Every structure is written in structure tokens, then in C-alpha cells.
Amino acid sequence: MEPQIFQRIETAKAPDFGDILTRSFELFKKIWVEGMLHLLVTLAVILPLLAILYVPFITILIKAEANGGQPDFNPFLEYSVLWIAIYILAFLVIMIIIQTIAYAVTAHFFQVCKKADTGTPVEIGGYFVYLKNHFQKILVLSLAAFGITMLAAILCYLPIFYVMVPLQLMFVIFAFNPELSVSEIVKSGFKLGNKFWLIAFGLIIISSMIAQLGIILCGIGILATAFFTHLPMYYFYKETIGFDDDSPIDVLPNSF
């Protein structure tokens, strides 16, 4: 039997672009601190992983500095093809892990958006609850997103502008429908994205530009504004697919 979400997408009405942006600003005033906390938690986890990737480059720089008097010295030749292949594989694995963690924390943030939007008290914590309960599904979704992005890049990069909409929608759909299979989530993202692509694309571009305004505040302000990009996607989902009136706001346990 076809999931109900497909029927909702079929009957969905076009959301109002201006109304979504207005409501996003109003919601941002309520949860900008939560958005900043989600970003800081994400950075606290992924920065050590990124540091691991740069260890070989630090070694290369040290060797290059030690042999500064030899212009023909190439530190990259100090490593065998096998080691380079292992590094590339490790790089891809770590990037997928980073993406999985980021998606899991973002999924929790969408739940925070719903709570704040409906006037339900927002509790601190629970950032990794999706990672704990749905790790395998988020990992497969991350792999799917990575594969779709790579395929779009191979096709002269222009398709990236097309797939960026379904990719953004896939994870807000997952956040509120974790019971769906990976294939159903991907299909829903493309189905909804295709129907209202121009509106969603415009929201993504405008919200991304607004999120960068935090740089004006000596750069550190971006910590508060970065997660603004997710607010229009929350309202886009709400205005198109919507929520069940009798569904609980958060069926997930509140664990850190």
C-alpha cells in the first residue's frame, strides 16, 4: 500500500513564499538560541573528525619545511599509492559519518521548530536521539544524498541546482516521518520538490543569504543565524504535507 504522504503531496497546494519567510523570522526570534546550540553540538562532534583528516597534511608540511632548501623535494612522493588510496577511502568514510551526524542533529532541530511553533515547551537536550534510534536509516540516507550529489556533479554540475531542493526536503520529511523507508523518503523528496521546485529553490537561496548575515557581527554571529536556513523548509513542509492533528509533537525519547 502506498504511504499516505504521497497522497498528501499530490493534493498539496502551493505554499505562500512571503508568508513562509515572515513566519520563519517570527520563529527565529523564539528559537535562535536552540539553533545556535544545535550548531555548537554539531561542531563539537565533527571538528575532531575533521582534524583527523588533516593529520597527514601536517606531516607533509613538516617534511616540506624540513627540506625547504631542496626545491625539487615533493613530500607527496613520500607516500605510496596504497597509503594514498587508504587516505582517500578514510576521507570518504569520515565525510559520510560527519554528514550523518549533521543530518541527525538537524532532524532533532526540526522537532524543536514544531514544538516552538505550536507553543509546546522546548526542552534542552535530545540532540542525538535520531542518531540513537535511526542511525542505520540516516546513514543510508546520507549515502543516498552523497550519491545523488556526486551524480549531479558528474553531469557538469548544473543538475546540482535541481537536486538541492529534493535533498533539502528529504531530511525534513525524515524528521517527521522516520517510519518511512529510505526509498520512500527519497521518492517523497523528489515528488514534493518537483511539484514546487521554484518556490523551494527560492526559499533555500534567500534563507542561505540571510543565514550568512551573522558574519557581519565579527563572524561569530553566524553561530546564531546559521540554522535559519532550516526554518523555511519546516514551514514549507508544514504548508504542503502538514501534520496529523492527533499526532504527538515528539514521539522520540528526550535523551542527550
122-131 burial, b for 16+ CB within 10 Å, e for fewer? beeebbbbbb
165-186 burial, b for 16+ CB within 10 Å, e for fewer? bbbbbbbbbbbbbbebebebbb
**Residue that is written with C-alpha cell 549533521 in the block:** 102
Comparison of pLDDT for 184 and 81, the residue scoring more: 184
DSSP codes, 12-41: PPPPPHHHHHHHHHHHHHHHHHHHHHHHHH
Q: How confident is the model at residue 22 (pLDDT cuts 50, 70, 90)?
A: very high
Phi, psi of 84 (to 5 degrees): -65, -40
Instruction: Of 175, 242, 150, 166, give the one whose Cα is nearest residue 201.
Output: 166
User: How does pLDDT run across 64-90, given as a tens digit for each residue?
Assistant: 666 655 555 555 566 677 888 888 898
User: How does pLDDT run across 36-66, given as a tens digit for each residue?
Assistant: 999 999 999 999 998 888 877 777 767 666 6
